[in-house]
């Protein structure tokens, strides 16, 4: 077995951490979390709770399975989030009247009112993106996500 060689900064062919796409995405996600922190603290929500509520603003009264697909979360991850949102008074969960195996989740009046508190808060403005840049970046990210899911064999039609 050949001994491992020690790589030094500046060696040819050695990429810096900042040159990796995965790190750019990871660190951007961390920065996104920091940008959302004041809004989330004011609302008393975690980011995952917030996106679950956003998905319910878009389509209220949906199955946990459907919501999980939209959020790319498994039921065992989503259920505790929904239980916490229910305890906070923002959502209600109930068995589907047609198929009792399914649990439906919908917003309460308090959950709908959260939308008013969150309106006009855009990370795109904090990132100084024009509407065109925001649309372009969104398209690129959705395309990259789809390609990555395809390569992993887990494409979701979202």
- The domain locations on the chain are 19-121, 122-158
Check whether 20 has a pLDDT greater than 90.
yes
57 closest CA partner among 143, 49, 65: 49
pLDDT at 4: 66
Rounded mean pLDDT, 100-104: 91
Average pLDDT in the chain: 89
Check whether 81 has a pLDDT greater than 90.
yes
Q: Which fold has domain 19-121?
A: Arc Repressor Mutant, subunit A (1.10.10)
Rounded mean pLDDT, 61-89: 95
SS3 content of the chain, % helix, strand, coil (to 5): 60, 10, 30
For residue 143, CA distances in Å to 6, 95, 126, 150, 158 come to: 37, 35, 23, 10, 11
Q: Which residues contact 25 (CB under 8 A, 6 or more apart)?
A: none
Question: What dihedral do alpha carbons 80, 82, 87, 91 form, nearest 10°?
Answer: -170
Question: What dihedral do alpha carbons 19, 21, 24, 29 form, nearest 10°?
Answer: -170
Check whether 84 has a pLDDT greater than 80.
yes
143 closest CA partner among 129, 155, 127: 155
pLDDT digits (tens, 9 = 90+) for 42-62: 899 999 999 999 999 999 999
- Partner residues linked to 48 by β-bridges: none
CB distance 91 to 105 below 8 Å: yes
pLDDT digits (tens, 9 = 90+) for 25-41: 999 999 998 988 988 99
Question: What dihedral do alpha carbons 50, 25, 70, 60 form, nearest 10°?
Answer: 30
Check whether 156 has a pLDDT greater than 80.
no
Percent of the chain with pLDDT over 90: 63
Rounded mean pLDDT, 65-72: 96
């Amino acid at each position: 077995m050949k001994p491992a060689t020690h790589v030094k900064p500046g060696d040819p062919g050695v990429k810096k951490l900042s040159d990796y796409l995965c790190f750019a995405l990871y660190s951007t996600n961390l920065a996104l979390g920091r940008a959302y922190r004041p809004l989330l603290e004011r609302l008393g929500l975690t980011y995952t709770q917030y996106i679950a509520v956003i998905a319910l603003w878009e389509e209220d009264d949906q199955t946990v399975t459907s919501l999980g697909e939209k959020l790319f979360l498994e039921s065992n991850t989503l259920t505790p989030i929904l239980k916490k949102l229910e305890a906070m008074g923002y959502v209600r969960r109930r068995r589907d009247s047609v198929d009792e195996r399914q649990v439906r989740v919908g917003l309460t009046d308090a959950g709908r009112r959260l939308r008013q508190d969150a309106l006009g808060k855009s990370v795109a403005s904090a990132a100084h993106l024009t509407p065109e840049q925001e649309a372009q970046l969104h398209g690129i990210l959705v395309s990259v996500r789809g390609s990555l899911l395809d390569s992993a064999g887990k494409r979701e039609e979202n």
